[in-house]
Every structure is written in structure tokens, then in C-alpha cells.
Amino acid sequence: MSDEEGLHLFSRPAWNMAWWKAFGSGKRLRVYAGYEGDELIGVWPFCIRKGSLKDLRGTIAETLSGRSSDYGLPAVRSGQEETFVGAVADNILFEARGSVLDFPHLPLGHPATSALARALKAAGAQIHERRSICPRLEFKGDYASTERCWKKSLRTDLRRQKRRLEEAGRLGLHVPERKEEVLALLPLFFRMHSARWREKGFNMKFLDGNETGFYRALAEGLAEGFDNNRLHFSVLSCGSEVISMHFGFVSNGWLLWYTPAYNPAFERHSPGKVHIGMLVERGLSEGLKGIDFLQGDEPYKLQWSTGKVETVSYTCSSGPSMRLKWLASTRPWLVSKFGRLLMRQGPAPQAAV
């Protein structure tokens, strides 16, 4: 599309291709493309999969990359949302009747989100709606002005921890620009992420070869992308020790805080906090708008944020459905009450690095 430059990274082909390469096995791909004459105005890919026992074995149709994407918008030209999104909703409700449909993480107020809500209601779909937020830190003119937006306790602790680390060794933030260097660092990133969560007694997602494959595919496709939509992988070192790493992105002027990892041996020095502080300094020097902490209202995100993007997820079906009730309300309630027990680790397979 001629105005592709404005698309969010999560709506771009490189993102969706990486996800499909890693997770597409055993699933069906359905891609909707809308045209005005010979001109492409919208693309919206979906994944059709058979649910597991925890999904009551039903068929689920969801936007491609699902909840791996923190914003689930289609790629659609501005001004064409009502026509394109409405047509897609009507068709997939018909074609996937009997299935549960999932449209996660749509920014509230976006024309595509509003168009989808109207189309689903007009079609008489059974809809379950869940709200969530993406906290954001919007940069001011310089670091001092940005820092004044934070509570005194954060400013004080950030300076204290940075000073303690500098006493142990020189602090350095490195952002590799070459794909080969990023790929060479990923095994350390996976081990560091797993070590942190292993110490807390939780399952480690990077023991899953599909997850590691997804991150490698993202590095392959986005490490040397356009400046406005690209991978942003950063490494914080103290002397010769790597103490924190972050696998994120830049999209439309925002640094996206996607997956952090830190060295558990340095936990008492808050390496993640120092890492974010140094990314603020670097982001200001590069002219970025701010840091988007993406989905989740964790306290550590809220302490940095000056605003938020509100999002909504629609889980729906063309008619009454027990699976819809289970997936949209009963199971999330069980996870909220007992999720920490479910996440506790059992015998772990060998990590795929």
C-alpha cells in the first residue's frame, strides 16, 4: 500500500511472516486482501487452529500472531477502515461459524477498532470484551525534563543503583546494528531470561523451540529494517559482565519494550531499571518519542509511565457457545486466581539455543 510507512510494526509483513514461520505448523492461514479497483487498501491475516484440551478442543480463528502482538490492528489504508474491516468481519463470522473468533489488543478509538465493534454487533455476534492498557513514557525535551515526570523515589533509586554499578565496573549500553551480531547474542539472551525465571520457580518460555525460532526469525527480518520500524536489541554491561538485555523494537518513533532479561547475580542492583534509564537517554539523543511498555499494568511499568494506550480484545462467536464462555470468562478467571500455580515449573527439557 502506498501509505505503508504509517503501519505499526505488529501489522507489517516481516512480523507476521516471522510468527508464521515459528508457529504455523498444523494451522491454516487465511488472508483477507481488500482492493479499490486495482489498488490494495487492506490486508488482514488470520490463523485457524484446532484448540487443545484447555480450549475444549474447539476450532479457534484469531488474528495472525494473536497475543504475541501487543497491538492487533489490520494493515488498512486510512479512511478505508469501515469498508474493509466490516467486510472481513462479515465473511469470517460466516466462514468460521461454530468457531470462536479472537481479535486481541485493538487500540480503543482507532477507526479499525470502532469499525470492527460495529460490524460484530450488526451481525448479532456474541461478544466478550476485555480491556487492557499499554503504559507509555513520553519523552520531554531533554533528560532532566523527562526525569522530573517520575516520582522522587524512582529518581533517587535509579541514581543510587547506577552509582553502585559504576563502582563495580564501567557501564556500557550497546545496540548492535548488524543482524549477525544480534543472532550471535540471542543464545545468551535466552539463557539469561530462563535463568531469571528458573530462580523464581516458573516455567521458562525459551525452552520452547518455537519461541526461540520466533525471536530468531524476528532478528532475521527486522535487525536491518527501516529506521522507523526495526528491531532494537540492547545489551547493558558492567565491566566485562553482561547484566541486562532487551529484545525490543522501534515503531513509528516509539521504542517498544517487548522482552527484557537480566542477570540474576546482579538483581540487587536493579539492572533492568538502570537499563531503562539508559535507554531513555539514548532515545532522547536519537529523537524518539518515548518508550511504549506494551501490554500489562505491572507496577514497574507504571512507575515510568506518563500515559497509556487503552486496548480492547474481542472474543466472539456467531451464536451462543459454551466454548466462548469458557475461553472468554471462565478460563481467564481461573488463570487470574491460580495462574501462579499453573506456571510453576515441572521437569524442564533441554533448552533450545
229 and 332, same domain (yes or no):
no
* The total number of structural domains that make up the chain: 2
Q: How confident is the model at residue 341 (pLDDT cuts 50, 70, 90)?
A: very low
Q: Which of 28-32, 39-43, 84-88, 203-207 has the lowest mean pLDDT?
A: 203-207
| β-strand partners of 224 | none
CA distance 303 to 272: 13
Residues 283 and 183 in one domain: yes
Query: Are both 123 and 155 inside the same structural domain?
Result: no
- Give the pLDDT of residue 49: 87
| Residue 346 confidence (pLDDT) | 42
User: Do 45 and 65 share a domain, yes or no?
Assistant: yes
Reduced to 3 states (helix: H, G, I; strand: E, B; else coil), residue 34 is strand
Nearest CA among 232, 207, 204 for reference residue 294: 232
The answer to pTM > 0.85 is yes
Q: Quickly state the pLDDT bin for 124 (edges 50, 70, 90).
A: very high
Q: CATH number of the domain that 11 lies in?
A: 3.40.630
Grid look-up 556500557 returns 172
Give the residue numbers spanning the domain of 56: 4-133+310-343
53-98 confidence digits (pLDDT tens): 555 557 889 999 999 999 999 999 999 999 999 999 999 999 888 7
Please give the average per-residue pLDDT across 236-260, as a whole number. Answer: 97
200-210 confidence digits (pLDDT tens) = 555 556 667 88
C-beta of residue 45 within 8 angstroms of C-beta of residue 66: no
77 and 45 in one domain? yes
Quick: pLDDT tens for 292-324. Answer: 999 999 999 999 999 999 999 999 987 666 656
Select the more confidently predicted residue: 325 or 276: 276
> How much is the mean pLDDT over the chain?
88
What distance in Å separates the CA atoms of residue 317 and residue 100, rounded to the nearest whole number? Answer: 5
Question: Residue 352 pLDDT > 90, yes or no?
Answer: no
In this structure, the answer to whether residues 125 and 209 fall within a common structural domain is: no
**Residue 19, domain member (yes or no):** yes
Determine the Cα–Cα distance for residues 173 and 234; give it in Å rounded to an integer.
7
- Whether residue 299 lies inside any domain: the answer is no
- The per-residue pLDDT for 1 is 53
